[in-house]
């Protein structure tokens, strides 16, 4: 799919988005500067130490030197031994409470393993861009505004449909459920054509939301019931095609049941967007403050920039070893003042004075 790439490399956090030919965001990712070293990204190659068997002999835990161990399935080509160092490729990033899924990586003859787990080399290809033909790269404040709007959309439990109605998205521990609702949607179509038109739009939007939010695992979609078997096949075909276009890979999608239920298995690759956004509230406020200070400084080329944040956010900034002061000064000049307000972490107040 041809796509535009938006990049918002703000001080403290980088965000990227892909826009489809219609100008709608269909992929999002965030990465804090604090994660740049301690995160196993898709297709990275790591040296890890085999730590022990998983329960039920389902595989092995592999220590990568990170917060969570990776997991690797039993290898038919070779036997693994507890304590050995192995070279592994990240085939699925960590998500929720689960560590990254690994597979054995090719190792050249004569390569000696390090004494401790470490990243061997980053991915040769950017997994975020898989299946996308980038026709334009956009940066600056315009890209920042579009990404912020897309993040707000991705955090909403509802997504409207072009012709009316909406879909609701709810992720539980075991699956993601999407419900299609016609709502106030009206039209001159008869009942059969009305259901088909609604469900085709819902299939397209469901695929976009799956990609946008980084949803993986079991997906269940409750479409509006249709009695026509050919119509049900059209909806499933649309969903398969839309998922392939948005994700850059095929997914297992079962046929629609008589009750209008469609089940799909979405292979996990990159971490879900909600995991990338999950962080302590003080860190979230501090990073938002840095972004707002930078934005205000770019809009107002002279004058002071003021920010008011909570004590917790101020403490996070003072202890963060990410070089934010130097980076911010290099972008807008050293002309900001950060004040503290006695309150719980939340939205920072940022303004400029000329």
Cβ(105)–Cβ(98) below 8 Å: no
pLDDT band at 258 (very low <50, low <70, confident <90, very high): confident
Distance CA 225, CA 223 (A): 6
173 and 256 both lie in a single domain:
yes
Q: What is the CATH number of the domain that holds 57?
A: 2.40.50.140
In the chain, what percentage of residues exceed pLDDT 90? 86
Residue 37: which pLDDT band, with cuts at 50, 70 and 90?
confident
Residues in CB range of 2: below 8 A, 6 or more apart = 21, 132, 133, 135
The Cα 67–Cα 264 span in angstroms is 31
- 8 A C-beta contact, residue 32 and residue 39: no
Whether the pLDDT of residue 273 is over 80: the answer is yes
Mean pLDDT of the chain: 94
Whether 83 and 113 have beta carbons less than 8 Å apart is answered as no
Nearest-angstrom CA–CA distance, 217 and 244: 15
Q: Are residues 183 and 262 in the same domain?
A: yes
pTM (predicted TM-score): 0.93
How confident is the model over 166-185, as pLDDT tens digits? Answer: 999 999 989 999 999 999 88
- The pLDDT assigned to 190 comes to 83
Query: What is the domain count for the chain?
Result: 3
DSSP state string for 269-330 = -SPPHHHHH---HHHHHHHHHHHHHHHHHHHSSSSEEEEEE-HHHHHHHHH--S-HHHHHHH
Mean pLDDT across the stretch 311-323? 97
Crossing angle (nearest 10°) for helices 281-299 and 311-319: 80
Kindly report, residue by residue over 67-77, the tens digit of the pLDDT. 999 999 876 66
Contacts of 168 (CB under 8 A, 6+ apart): 157, 158, 159, 178, 179, 181
What is the crossing angle of helices 281-299 and 140-154, to 10°?
Answer: 150
Residue 93 lies in a domain: yes
Residues 313 and 257 in one domain: no
55 lies in a domain?
Answer: yes
What's the CATH number where 189 sits? 3.30.950
Q: What is the rounded CA–CA span in Å between residue 354 and residue 352?
A: 7
Name 179's bridge partners: 168, 222
Q: What is the pLDDT of residue 74?
A: 75
| Residue 15 belongs to a domain | no
User: Do 243 and 290 belong together in one domain?
Assistant: no
Does residue 186 surpass a pLDDT of 80? no
Per-residue pLDDT, averaged over 30-54, amounts to 93
Provide the edge-to-edge strand list for the sheet that holds 304-309.
336-340, 304-309, 349-353
> Domain ends where: 259, 274, 289?
274
What's the DSSP call for residue 98? B
- Whichever domain contains 289, its CATH number is 3.40.1260.20
**Which domain, by its residues, includes 83?**
45-121
- In whole angstroms, give the CA distance from residue 211 to residue 182: 23
Do residues 90 and 41 lie in contact, with contact meaning Cβ atoms separated by under 8 Å? yes
Q: Are residue 284 and residue 258 in the same domain, yes or no?
A: no
């Amino acid at each position: 799919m041809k796509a535009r790439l938006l990049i918002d490399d703000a001080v403290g956090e980088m965000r990227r988005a892909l826009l489809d030919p219609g100008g709608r965001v269909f992929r999002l990712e965030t990465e804090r500067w604090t994660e740049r070293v301690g995160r196993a990204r898709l297709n990275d190659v790591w040296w890890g130490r085999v730590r022990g068997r998983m329960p039920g002999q389902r595989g092995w835990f592999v220590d990568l030197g990170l917060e969570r161990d990776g997991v690797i399935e039993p290898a038919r080509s070779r036997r693994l031994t507890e304590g050995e160092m192995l070279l592994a490729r990240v085939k699925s990033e960590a998500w929720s409470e689960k560590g990254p899924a690994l597979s054995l990586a090719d190792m050249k003859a004569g390569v000696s393993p390090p004494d401790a787990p470490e990243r061997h080399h980053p991915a040769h290809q950017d997994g975020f861009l898989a299946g996308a033909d980038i026709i334009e790269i956009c940066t600056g404040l315009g890209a920042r505004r579009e990404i912020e709007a897309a993040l707000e959309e991705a955090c909403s439990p509802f997504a409207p449909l072009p012709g009316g109605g909406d879909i609701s998205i709810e992720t539980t521990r075991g699956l993601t459920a999407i419900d299609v609702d016609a709502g106030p949607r009206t039209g001159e179509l008869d009942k059969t054509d009305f259901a088909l038109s609604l469900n085709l739009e819902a299939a397209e939007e469901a695929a976009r939301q799956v990609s946008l939010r980084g949803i993986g695992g079991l997906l269940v979609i409750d479409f509006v019931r249709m009695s026509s078997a050919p119509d049900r096949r059209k909806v499933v075909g649309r969903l398969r095609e839309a998922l392939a276009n948005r994700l850059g890979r095929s997914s297992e999608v079962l046929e629609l049941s008589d009750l209008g239920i469609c089940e799909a298995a979405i292979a996990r690759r990159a971490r879900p967007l909600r995991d990338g956004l999950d962080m302590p509230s003080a860190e979230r406020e501090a990073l938002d403050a840095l972004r707002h200070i930078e934005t205000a400084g770019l809009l107002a080329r002279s004058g002071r920039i003021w920010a008011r944040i909570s004590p917790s956010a101020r403490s996070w900034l003072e202890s963060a070893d990410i070089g934010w002061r130097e980076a911010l000064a290099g972008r807008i000049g050293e002309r900001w003042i950060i004040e503290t307000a006695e309150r719980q972490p939340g939205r920072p107040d940022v303004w400029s004075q000329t």
